[in-house]
Structure 1
């Protein structure tokens, strides 16, 4: 399959907030306003995307659509997205309305990453939101069912029986409004294994892969992730979908260029320099390493990262609590000294 593509980079923020040593986001308002300002700064330097992780019952980003709409109103080029929304918690039709409205405000720049999500602080948070698996379903099954309903709704298909007084214009079922043409091709599935990547390809959605895979074959993380990406692309070709899919990976990349960087991250450079294997949700999982240190060395390492090379989009996790100025400087250093080594050029 054709894999010649423009390489994109974007930042990925977890939206943490709370009082603590060095925190510049003491409140939720701080975190939200600074996310908007960082997206504006990222666009000005030619970064391609601003993405946000969604968590519930935690001091992190939880309601992404108001934030993404606000960013859309302040920017004109940068992609705006999620990585990822836990679909166990979502009302698919209401989410379809929010997504379409946000996409229209952004003039078609929305990229929606969805999935089963990671473990949440609440024991059964989706149930607290009012959502329960059907008989025989798992939480993952429910997430996929909600995703199917969401995708059906944004496709323009009818989803609701009309009332007797409704004027249908020949249509039998009412569709959600508004609709945003093209949004259906900008849905991504956050896949944590090779099997779920194959499933995503079968469903016809883009692939979003993070620094965690819930499996381990003994090979380095980037090679395992590159295998996942190739399986996705092979399955996509076999399925015969009518558009070219996108693939993203995320990496923690922190260039150390001054004493402030050294103070915050110097001790992590050695500790996080290798893959880690652990247990999550009862599964043996492989966690990717962090890239921390001299920019020239990081450029060489990322250029040799098999999954970074295989993906068209690299999401760079940012320490959002350190504030807009610090994160802008960090992204500028990545853009200037590191990203060109993986084939990226600024989007201006």
Structure 2
């Protein structure tokens, strides 16, 4: 395991006390969790993106605040719902943020998960989808976004200003950003598409497939297909692969509250967005036990980055304790070393 970070769903409520933060409290907690995670040497801080829900939404203000208050930690999303985005405006925002952060931005993007609003992207002004789930406009807009952050020509120049005319790209550009874009894949076919396109793979918190195999084995097959497709498409760099898990190390008596999560200790199969889907289990226990279980998790072993899903609504102290317990008592046995230098090896260095 080269890197681990946390993945926050950003839930908030009405500010009525512990476990029910207001929107403002949730955002400030996220910034402080990331700041302390950076001090612990955690590699990444990633945030889910949802719309019309009491959760993290448009991510750039939060990511900018975190980038401004940290030094080394990678800052990103898991994932931005492309159905709701203007691809060129997103490309401008992402490049500016990456330049400010010293090349520490890693954006996970996808079609997006089910949202509370029926065809909610149309309320944002994005119409024309013939797919009830909006996958057609999501992929088309993503390809435009990827071309834009890669320096592609996006518009015709006005000849009244530029004489002979010509073509224009969005500005600014942040070199290397395109290689830090992930696609959130929930199936094996989507993983292969991701590999052919030359993106990093962010394997979903659930897979919209159920074959009878365990979640970890199904995810491992997804990763293998992705890497094969990436290689066969002729991409020469080494891509990154992340998986997410709920992991709660019990180190002292204060951690015993996590024992109530043992009910999630096995895979589950259910239906989401019309697909029969496989959901992964939670890992709860003493460090030695967690090391053994994670070493036996085929997908965790196949990935280079592990994202810990955290109960963000419980506040800063509880979440930093989870990260500290994992960093000090579990991750080293999986091959991890604290982040001292900046983003994961192979990517542009962030500020020292």
Fold match (TM-score > 0.5)? yes
Q: Which range moved further: 310-319 or 131-140? A: 131-140
SS at match of 2:159: coil
SS at match of 2:306: strand
Q: Which residue of 1 aligns with 2:236?
A: 242
CA shift digits 1:122-181 (9 cap, x unpaired)? 11210111112345786111110110010111111111122233337x871111111101
In 1, Cα distance between equivalents of 2:62 and 2:131 = 36
Change (3 A) 1:327 1:136: closer
In 2, Cα distance between equivalents of 1:211 and 1:24 = 22
- Root-mean-square deviation (CA), in Å? 1.7
- Segments of 4+ moved more than 4 angstroms: 134-138
Cα offset for 1:98? Answer: 0.5
In 2, Cα distance between equivalents of 1:128 and 1:235 = 36
Q: Does the aligned pair in 1 maintain the 2:158–2:165 contact within 8 Å?
A: no
In 2, Cα distance between equivalents of 1:344 and 1:218 = 32
In 2, Cα distance between equivalents of 1:324 and 1:340 = 23
SS at match of 2:21: coil
Cα offset for 1:112? Answer: 0.7
Q: Which residue of 2 aligns with 1:279?
A: 271
5 Å-filtered alignment, 1:1-348, equals: 7-19=2-14, 23=18, 26-134=21-129, 139-167=134-162, 172-263=166-257, 265-269=258-262, 271-348=263-340
Cα offset for 1:21? Answer: 7.4
TM-score, normalised with respect to structure 1 = 0.93
Q: Which range moved further: 235-244 or 157-166? A: 157-166
Q: Does the aligned pair in 2 maintain the 1:210–1:251 contact within 8 Å?
A: no
Q: Which runs of 5+ in 2 are unaligned?
A: 341-352
In 2, Cα distance between equivalents of 1:293 and 1:14 = 23
SS at match of 2:293: helix
Cα offset for 1:23? Answer: 2.9
Q: Does the aligned pair in 2 maintain the 1:13–1:53 contact within 8 Å?
A: yes
In 2, Cα distance between equivalents of 1:137 and 1:63 = 23
In 2, Cα distance between equivalents of 1:282 and 1:125 = 17
TM-score, normalised with respect to structure 2 = 0.92
Q: Does the aligned pair in 2 maintain the 1:300–1:341 contact within 8 Å?
A: no
Q: Which runs of 5+ in 1 are unaligned?
A: 1-5
Change (3 A) 1:136 1:50: closer
Change (3 A) 1:161 1:283: same
